[in-house]
Chain A
Amino acid sequence: MRRGGLKAREARLAFFMLFPTFAIVLLIVIFPVVADFWIAFKDIKLGDLRPPRAVVIERVKKRPKAPGDELVVAYRVENRTKNPVLSTRFSDPLPPGTSPKALPPGCRVAAGALSCAVPGPKPGERKELVVTLTATEAYFAAGKPNPRRTRPEVESRAKNPLLAKPFTLQNFLRVFKDPEFWPMLKVTLAYTLFGTGLSILLGLFAAQLLAVRFAGRQVLRGLFLFPYVAPVIAVAFVWVFLLDPFSGTLNALLLKYGFIQQPIPFLSQRYFPVHFFGLTLQLPLALTMVILFEGWRYFPFAFLFILARLQAIPTELYEAAKVDGAGVWATFRFVTLPQLAGILATLFLLRFIWTFNKFDDIFLLTGGAAGTETITIKVYDYAFARADLGLGAALAVVLFFILALFLTVYFRYAPKGEV
């Protein structure tokens, strides 16, 4: 077999093997990002997701008393959505033993069934179509069936509002004009920076503790990973419970050992005055708690990577340092730290991006209240709490561009071969 033929066959096989993964990633990740841009330029509300359609309600206006009398039925065609319907068609079998007497325009009777086509209706518009029938003997013989026993079948034609609405810059203008925009960016940056830094510092410290061999080290390593592998919903609720000002264990402990005189609402107070050498600092309390949670929950991630790296440092380096008379601190500073530089930088970039993207933690802890509203929380707030998908998507686009900036930095500066 020729080499070229084999190569082509391999490429084809590879294509088939990779296709499902690509398809899913394309559909669920790439396409939504594109769709985000689309929605961001349109005034789309959550309610627009309901396809616009008309409802038809049938009422009997006049019942016949004797054969030959009129049976008057009114059909109300109504658009209860916020988007226009192009045209509506409905059909409804006539009660047996009736014949049409007067039909509104657009309606006709064929094979014992009434069918009507009307333009519209526009959002909120109602149209009434009055159909007059003549009741015969057969109608009375059938026991005067109520015309409402058969329900009209309705079919509406409408453009999907996601596609139909015009493009606009309004969403972006509103995002940037929101007085909370810049404070929110500041909070996001503080949360990301300090949360990342804290989790890596704690991870570094924990890794140092477990770097030497001792009995029970494996158990401790497993234990230290707990905050990270436990479901976020469980740990977030537990911390909310522990930090509660009325029934929370943490406040009870601080009160019991005399550190505070009054319970502190850790997650719902924006600022907490801290007296420090006669100065009073306004500590952003809820934000600090959220950052501490971030450090607590994600230190195991840094810990795991740093520990793996620590154990890979050749012992000769330490022996050489000892021969040179380096002390504990000097050894850490000039041997360990340089060896960890690569992994620390990578961890910082990675965690920075993920913390920036983080939504669940703050959402479950504070819901974004008390000065903890980050950009992801705001996206949710716009899109779902305020039911304004377009506005949320516009902010998501802004978020995406900031992230793209970070990613560029990441791929440029991340050391090769780490993580």
Chain B
Amino acid sequence: MRYLLGLVTGAVAAVLVFFSAAFSLALFFGMDAELKLGVALLLGGVLGLLAAAVPPEKERLWPYAVLAALGAVLALPFDPVGLGPLWSALLGALAGLVAGYGLRDLDFASGEVLELLGLRLLRAAGFLVFVFAVVFPFWAMLAASLKPRAEFLQDPANLALPLGKPLRELLEGYRAVLFDYNFLRYIANTAYVAVTTMVLTLVLSVLGAYAVARLDFPGRRLMERAVLLTYMFPAIVLAIPLYAIFTLLGLRDTLSGLVIVYLAQTLPVALYMLRSYFETVPASLEEAGLIDGCSRFEVIWRITLPLSLPALASVGLYVFMIAWNEFLFAFMFLDTPEIFTLSRGMVALNSQEVPYQYLMAGAVIVTVPVMLLFFWFERYLVGGLTAGGVKG
């Protein structure tokens, strides 16, 4: 039983390693990889048998080394992914490690060993699938933005980044989109809208949240709930009357009109998030300030806000992201190309019969700022996302 489990686990581990390696090397790097299934099964079986004989344990790690070395040596003559000795050795060693990892710390006599092995397999497959599903589209976006149509169409299943080309040629899509299709302007417009929305939302929601958190007035919870309820309203229902009203007021085709709509979309949840945070700031600190003769606004400025910087960062980032990404209202409201935001500009680009390379370059340009912000401030942003449950 023990060795049968080892055999199967090792084979599955090797197939997972070789298959995912061959598949991603071919797809993402354009390598001429193939999967030799028989070799993978055989090699994995041998490694699995060995791992079952001396499974690695917490206090006994040397089997990993043996398995890796053996995997590398055994894979060499068979060339399991068809990419030559270096890749064979590397992936063979990896297969050995994974087989060992799959069979680690196992009590083969226990009744739940099958359950445990199944779970480990599921986890391994889960990681591969999720990482692939997330990386694939973004990688494809980048790859397609760097290749002219003809080059891409030669083999759409090859998403290798053509990094060997001269820089000018490589970045042709970006040059065209930024300068010929005016995306430089759209970046500025989008940044203006997003930053304005962020600043105004922060100012207004700090005031409102402070009032709800600290001041005593009748019906404050009810009011907060009512404001939050508006968060559930579908944008498309608001779109028709807002379109009509803004057209009559002359606000429709303006960036200010857009900012007002975004304010309404972000204020309720910003208020809610900040209110929860303000309630964790001890009121006694503020009372001390009040007794020392500060006014309410001085107390907010000097005591509450410095203590709430993480929450302000979360809310600010979240609002910026919403405003930067917004599509529907930008699409419906803006007609004048000079004031397009990036979302609106992308739609315009899409309808102009431009090559997909340009469209993907545009997509990268829209995405990169959000991603950079996200990585720099991930901690805050995650805080904002969970606290507010960003609408989407």
Contact = CB atoms under 8 A, between A and B. Distances in A.
Interface of A: 7, 10-11, 13-15, 17-18, 20-22, 24-25, 27-33, 35-36, 39, 44, 49, 51, 160, 162, 205-206, 208-209, 218, 220-235, 237-239, 241-242, 247-249, 251-253, 255-256, 296-298, 301, 304-305, 308, 327-329, 350, 353-354, 356-357, 359-360, 364, 376, 379-380, 383-384, 389, 392-393, 396, 399-400, 403, 407, 410, 419
A223 B135 contact: yes
B389 A419 contact: yes
A242 B137 contact: yes
Contact of B211 (A17, A24, A356): A17
A29 B248 contact: no
Contacts of B210: 17
Contacts of B208: 17-18, 20-21
Contacts of A329: 115
Given A49-B244, A247-B153, 4 more contacts: A231-B367, A233-B325, A247-B156, A301-B389
A21 B267 contact: yes
A353 B115 contact: no
Contact of A379 (B220, B236, B325, B390): B236
B237 interface: yes
A209 B240 CA distance: 43
B126 A232 contact: no
A32 B321 contact: no
Contact of B321 (A229, A241, A379, A403): A229
A249 B371 contact: no
Contacts of B385: 225, 228, 301, 304
Given A7-B216, A249-B157, A407-B232, A49 B248 contact: yes
B378 to A, nearest CB: 5
Interface string B364-383: 10110011001100100110
Interface in B222-248: 223, 227, 229-230, 232-245, 247-248
21 contacts: A20-B208, A21-B207, A21-B208, A24-B260, A25-B268, A28-B263, A31-B245, A222-B374, A225-B385, A227-B134, A229-B321, A229-B370, A229-B374, A233-B346, A237-B346, A238-B137, A242-B140, A251-B156, A376-B236, A379-B239, A400-B237
B292 interface: no
Contacts of B27: 253
A13 B211 contact: yes
A410 B342 CA distance: 35
Interface string B151-164: 01101110100000
A376 B233 CA distance: 12
A238 to B, nearest CB: 5
Interface of B: 27, 111-112, 115-116, 119, 123, 126-127, 130-131, 133-138, 140-141, 144, 149, 152-153, 155-157, 159, 204-205, 207-208, 210-212, 215-218, 220, 223, 227, 229-230, 232-245, 247-248, 260-261, 263-264, 267-268, 271, 296, 321, 324-325, 327-328, 332, 342-343, 346-347, 350, 356, 359-360, 363-364, 366-367, 370-371, 374-375, 378, 381-382, 385-386, 389-392
A206 B332 contact: no
Given A28-B260, A30-B230, A225-B374, A232 B211 contact: no
In the A-B complex, the 6 residue pairs with the closest CB atoms:
A28-B264, A357-B234, A35-B241, A252-B157, A32-B241, A234-B363
A191 to B, nearest CB: 14
Contacts of B367: 230-231, 234
B325 A231 contact: yes
Given A35-B245, A230-B367, A18 B119 contact: no
B366 A231 contact: yes
B327 A364 contact: yes
A383 B240 contact: yes
A14 B216 CA distance: 8
A231 to B, nearest CB: 4
B136 to A, nearest CB: 8
Q: What is the interface of chain B mostly: helix, strand, loop, or mixed?
A: helix
B238 A33 contact: yes
Contact of A298 (B260, B363, B370, B392): B392
Given A17-B208, A21-B204, A22-B227, A393 B137 contact: no
A390 B299 CA distance: 50
A70 to B, nearest CB: 44
A297 B392 CA distance: 9
Contact of A18 (B126, B212, B233, B237): B212
A389 B236 contact: no
A39 to B, nearest CB: 6
A30 B127 CA distance: 45
A328 B112 contact: yes
A242 B390 CA distance: 27
Contacts of B381: 229
B126 A209 contact: yes
Contact of A231 (B241, B245, B324): B324
Most B CB contacts (10 A, CB to CB) among A35, A237, A252, A327 go to A237
Contact of A13 (B223, B247, B296, B390): B296
A20 B204 contact: yes
Of B141, B232, B367, most A-chain CB atoms within 10 Å: B232
Contacts of B138: 226, 230, 238
A357 B324 CA distance: 20
A248 B234 contact: no
A249 B247 CA distance: 42
B215 A399 contact: no
B215 A10 contact: yes
A15 B156 CA distance: 60
B382 A304 contact: yes
B370 A32 contact: no
Contacts of A227: 134, 137
B277 to A, nearest CB: 16
Contacts of A252: 155-157
A234 B374 contact: no
A27 B119 CA distance: 53
Nearest to B111: A327
Nearest to B157: A252
A233 B245 contact: no
A253 B359 contact: no
Given A22-B227, A28-B264, A39 B244 contact: yes
Contacts of B111: 327
B133 A231 contact: no
A232 B271 contact: no
Contact of A11 (B141, B204, B215): B215
Contacts of B268: 21, 25
A160 B247 CA distance: 13
A34 to B, nearest CB: 8
B156 A249 contact: yes
